[in-house]
Chain A
Amino acid sequence: MSYAADVGITVLIYVMLGVSLNLLVGYTGRVSMAHAIFFGIGGFTAARLTLPPADPAAASSYATVVSGFGWNWLPALAVAAAVAFLGALLISLPAVRLVRGEYLILLTLAFQLLANQLMGLLDWVTGGPYGLSGIPPVELFGWSLRAPERMFGLMLVATAIVVAICWRLGESPFGRLLKGIREHDSAVSSVGKNPVVPELLAFGISAAIAGGVGALAAFYYGSVVPGNYTLDVSILIVSIVVLGGAGNITGTVVAAVVLGLLDPILRRTFGDSAIPWQAVIYGAALVLMMRLRPGGLLPEGAGITRLLPRRQRRAGEHRTPEEALARLARVTKTETAEAETVVEVVGLQKSFGGLTAVNGATFALPAGKVTALIGPNGAGKTTIFNMICGTIPVDAGRVFLRGQDVTGSPAHALVRLGLARSFQDVRVAQRLTALDNVAMAVPGQAGEHIVQLALRPWRVRRQEAATRDRALDCLALLGMAEKAYLLAGDLSYGDQKLIAIARLIATDCDVLLLDEPTSGVDPASVERVVDGIGRLRDLGRTVCLVEHSVHFVQRLADRAVFLDQGAVVAEGTVDELMQSRELADLYFGT
């Protein structure tokens, strides 16, 4: 019985460590090879806080090393989690500074080894290579939870809490934002959301949970040694996450149970000689899984959550563009009066080295109209576009949005002021559904803030229903309602362009900049994209687009700004401009 409970506790520790790391590796897409360190930081912190203070009467050199503060276990656990949280912020700073992929793996690997080495060296903190022992067990209602049977109950409760937290975070609007950051953080800021804070929180929360688990493990085992927090442990936890399925909490739980039971089963069946086989088996499992089923046992979105969308999908199918238009037009506030100027571009200048790309371009975007920037290759269209969006700095000149100078404002600030852009290469999150891609762009979601998630669950839930409904309307407007629950990566490029446009609508911005909306789209889908842009005008949005095809510009645009060599040559309706022999020659070449 004790043995079974002891094995059970080990398994639960794996479950909690795996689930917490999944938040970072699966949902946020940041691989950390240092999870064991946060587990250890929690263990050592809790150990030092709960150990009894040094007894001056029995002072020996050994006793001073293991002296502590005599805290109760619960506050010690909280502080352990907090210390791990802060430690994680330290290593996440370079990750936020665009250290990604292999660099992040290397960085966390270095951190794992550095910190584990330090645990053995800083003996005045950690007790050195032999660690700290004599940590008091958890006391609950006068019960001492040293025996495995008793501790197992507490661990089970802790696991339930941890799984619930990670589930709640991962499957909430906050989790959707994390997944968006995983796929394209520039797309997240392009819809007006700050990608940095959620990423930092993912690092921090993941580590804080590991720290709390480390504290519980320290109370149970009564000792902490640096040898418990080695790279092997970190690798095992990463393996649990990817074998179970990154981004799938159920998968992590299953994998943690299987890998956690592997060791005791092998040991009981074959004796101690079987110890190395455990690593051989999970190493081989890793190789085979990545080869045959790279998403893991239960890939993201598989399992219980897959059953839900079927019910919701029916709701989506009946939405026609007209219904959606009626609803969206009611929601959307278009304050600007007819024919008023919303955006003014004055005297923009940009040189790249010796080449002058934009030379004093001045034009305006009238409200509720579709304006196209046209001109021959090298006219500076894309450069101007990028300067309006703030992605490249201007050399000279100003951009005004409703009279306010917004020159060089970052993307998320512009979205707050009502101006959003799309990307030529769509930057749609491939592993999210079309609906989630659009829902991510809806502004003012309480569920994207973890405090609100925890304190006001009902409000978050109500708002999330409204958010999804609205996102579905945005898709329905473009005739995409029946594809709302499909993964964006499974859809055609044309569909993805439409998702990107729906995402723009969802931002509530009334000025939308579209970068080559039909480039790379097959001819049949081009019609749908062109219709979709027409819908933007129906909604009363002000649209500016860069487009090469004169044919589509003629159909789409109310006005065109003709650029050549970085300056505005002519403005007017597309037909007027195209009737000018001179401009046509410039455009098509002679």
Chain B
Amino acid sequence: MDLGLFAQLTVSGVVIGMTYALLGVSFGVIYATTKIFHLAHAVPYATAAYAAVWASERLGLGLGLACLVGLVAGTVAGLAIEFFAYRPMVGRNATLLTIFLVSLGISVAFPNLLQIGFGPDNKNLPGFQNRTYELGSITLSRHDILSVVVSGFLILAVVLFVDRTRFGRSITAMRTNPTMAAAVGIDRKSVYLLVLGIGSMLVSVAGLLFTLQGVASPTMGLAPVLTAFIAAFLGGIGSLRGAALGGLLLGLVSSWSALFLAVDYGPVVVFGAMFVVLLVRPQGLLGKEAV
């Protein structure tokens, strides 16, 4: 085996894996508490990217401010979904399946609305100066470093927030025992809003990181959201560390698969891994509770 190639793939795997970990945590924090199979998680992802492009094109804002606009817009989009779509359903004791179907409806309609509003073409977010660095046989770009640092920082921040703060502990309480949490005065609605806010903010960041180097397109949210699902379920529902680990592993595995398989098989390996884990260990790698 070519060690240089292996090292390069490992580094790229970590870079992709950290983004996957961010996605996994962004979904995991929502799903663990609400149990909503939030397919519409793609909405804040794409909203953040489109809002940043819009702010940059139409308002002429600099890259930093445009990203801030994107971050706010994405978070608001996530909160809006909770407020207008999920909350009335949860209040009426709808089954999780009907809420999933609402989420499905939103995620079907939204990319097409983007296409109607902004056209089907890819959009660029200009202004990011990418540069590559050579470290021996390994190549790294500024974008790679930025992704790893931002993702790592945010994951750590959210884990600390959930573990150490009062708000965070109310999330854990609501996740582990909703009835008891409600009995001691924790408001379900505010906790839901909180987790949707955190999750949507994280996924917005992921959307912006992607757009810095790639392009925004109406259907851009679907693939990353599925990655987020897989990372979260792989690691084990209820464990944010598990979701992060799941994402990282997913990145490494898909990157390493290039050693043995054509690059096109990357997604096949990802979904195959998910399939096997669901078969063999449905509670996830770090999950404890049974399905």
Question: Residues of A at under 8 Å CB distance from B?
Answer: 31, 93-94, 97-103, 105-107, 109-111, 113-114, 117-118, 120-121, 231, 235, 238-239, 242, 276-280, 282-287, 290-291, 294
Contacts and interface: CB of A to CB of B under 8 A. Distances in A.
A120 B113 CA distance: 28
Given A94-B279, A109-B226, A291-B89, A276 B116 contact: yes
A483 B35 CA distance: 36
B184 interface: no
Contact of B100 (A98, A105, A280, A282): A105
A286 B101 contact: yes
A172 to B, nearest CB: 25
Contacts of B113: 276, 280
Nearest to B114: A276
Interface stretch (B91-99, B130-138, B144-152, B246-254): B91-99
Interface stretch (B14-22, B163-171, B261-269): B261-269
Given A117-B267, A276-B112, A277-B112, A287 B275 contact: no
B230 to A, nearest CB: 7
A97 B275 CA distance: 13
B101 A283 contact: no
A280 B271 contact: no
Contact of A117 (B97, B233, B268): B268
Interface stretch (B57-65, B67-75, B103-111): B103-111
B264 to A, nearest CB: 6
A239 B115 CA distance: 21
Interface in B28-46: 35, 37
A114 B230 CA distance: 13
Q: Which of A109, A235, A282, A286 has the most CB of B within 10 A?
A: A286
Given A102-B100, A105-B37, A291-B89, A284 B105 contact: yes
Given A105-B37, A114-B271, A239-B104, A283 B112 contact: yes
Given A106-B278, A294-B98, A239 B108 contact: yes
A110 B291 contact: no
Given A280-B112, A290-B101, A294-B98, A121 B233 contact: no
Contact of A31 (B97, B116, B230, B274): B97
B291 A283 contact: no
Given A239-B104, A291-B89, 10 more contacts: A31-B100, A98-B282, A114-B267, A114-B268, A117-B271, A276-B113, A277-B112, A285-B105, A287-B102, A291-B102
A236 to B, nearest CB: 8
10 contacts: A94-B278, A103-B282, A103-B291, A106-B229, A106-B278, A279-B108, A279-B112, A280-B112, A287-B105, A290-B94
Contact of A283 (B99, B108, B278): B108
A537 B110 CA distance: 62
B132 to A, nearest CB: 29
Given A106-B233, A111-B275, A279-B109, A290 B116 contact: no
B230 A287 contact: no
A30 to B, nearest CB: 11
Contacts of B268: 114, 117-118, 121
A96 to B, nearest CB: 11
Q: Which 7 A-B pairs have the closest CB atoms?
A: A283-B109, A286-B105, A283-B108, A114-B271, A276-B112, A287-B105, A279-B112
A238 B98 CA distance: 12
B230 A110 contact: yes
B61 to A, nearest CB: 28
Q: Is the interface of B mostly helix, strand, loop or mixed?
A: helix
Nearest to A286: B105
Contacts of B282: 94, 97-99, 103
Nearest to B267: A117
A284 B109 CA distance: 7
Contacts of A280: 109, 112-113, 116
Nearest to B99: A290
A283 B100 contact: no
A128 to B, nearest CB: 10
Interface in B44-89: 85, 88-89
A278 B113 CA distance: 10
B126 interface: no
B4 interface: no
Q: Which of B100, B264, B275 has the most CB of A within 10 A?
A: B275
B271 A282 contact: no
Q: Which of B97, B265, B274 has the most CB of A within 10 A?
A: B97
A103 B278 contact: yes
Contacts of B96: 101-102
B271 A113 contact: yes
B272 interface: yes
Interface in B114-143: 115-116
Contact of B291 (A98, A117, A277, A290): A98
B275 A107 contact: yes
A283 B101 CA distance: 9
A287 B103 CA distance: 8
Given A110-B275, A114-B271, A290 B233 contact: no
Nearest to B230: A110
B175 to A, nearest CB: 15
Contacts of B85: 287
A114 B101 contact: no
Contacts of B275: 107, 110-111, 114
B253 to A, nearest CB: 14
A106 B231 CA distance: 12
A240 B157 CA distance: 42
Contacts of A113: 226, 267, 271
A324 to B, nearest CB: 36
Contacts of A284: 105, 109
A120 B265 CA distance: 10
B291 A99 contact: yes
Contact of A238 (B104, B107, B262): B104
A131 B279 CA distance: 31
Contact of A121 (B100, B112, B264, B291): B264
Contacts of A114: 267-268, 271-272, 275
Contacts of B226: 109-110, 113
A105 B222 CA distance: 15
B101 A242 contact: yes
Contact of A235 (B104, B274, B279, B291): B104
Nearest to A283: B109
A235 B108 contact: yes
Given A101-B96, A276-B115, A277-B116, A110 B274 contact: yes
Contacts of A100: 291
Nearest to A278: B112
